[in-house]
Amino acid sequence: MGRVTADQSGSRGFGSSSSGVWCDDASAGMAARLAQLGFDWICLDMQHGRYSRHEIIDVARGLPAGFAELVLRVPSCEFTVIGAALDAGARAVIVPQVESARQAQEAVAATFYPPVGDRSWGQFGRLWGGATLTVEEANSSTTCAVMIESAAALLAVEEIAAVEGIGQLFVGPYDLSLSLGTTIPALLDDESEGNPLARIVQAAATYGRTMGGFAGTPELAERFRERGISCVAVATDLWITAEGARAALGSRSSVG
């Protein structure tokens, strides 16, 4: 059984080698607690999780400073949604279903202020007296991560990675394996020449991008790191709840 341990030495943020927790259902209070347990970043899932614009503001308002960085998986490559995620205080956005250089360029344009992109000014921190960033600070400290999670994205991965402003390629293993007609274990086991994960990792290295991915459990996270994917969601809020219940109840637990 995998185990997540707290590390109070300080987080590294959403970087080239980091461990994050992925939240589908955590309340603002629970997200604040998770952020203090030693993870480098905490990601709110707006695509397949419960988070609306209102709820991400509630979470951002309550997050303690100096712990895990806030990351948002936005629901689409849409200008106002990406801007709202960043205005709430996210230091990175993970943009799903990016399948072309043009879509990657759209994600970059929504992520960064001019002259790099077209992001509109209006950070939410000012609403509650929280921190806000200057244009220069935001542009230098924000990461635009694009998800490679389909056969079409894999086919165009080199062109996507080449887009200026892309900071990370982020593997979505569930949709990628579905699109390729395989399974996550088979995807991770594939060592053939030019295999999908190796191709994505090579494209990131060629253009100086970091590599990220969703694992969801510590066991899968280890497999991801073995394949050169080092910025990893190592657990989810739902997994942590289930494992906590199992630990508390021992063999009597039937949590699944």
Task: Please determine, for residue 72, whether its predicted confidence score (pLDDT) is greater than 80.
Answer: yes
The fold of 18-246 is: TIM Barrel (3.20.20)
Q: Report the distance separating Cα 248 and Cα 210, nearest Å.
A: 38
Reply yes or no on whether 48 is catalytic.
Answer: yes
pLDDT at 26: 94
Both tokens assigned to 86: 């960043």
Phi-psi region of 86 (alpha: psi -120 to 50; beta: other; left: phi over 0): alpha
pLDDT for res 1: 31
Q: At 255, is the pLDDT very low, low, confident or very high (cuts 50, 70, 90)? A: low
In this predicted structure, the answer to whether residue 7 has a pLDDT above a threshold of 80 is: no
The active-site residue, picked from 48, 185, 206, 244, is 48
In whole angstroms, what separates CA 98 from the centre of its chain? 14
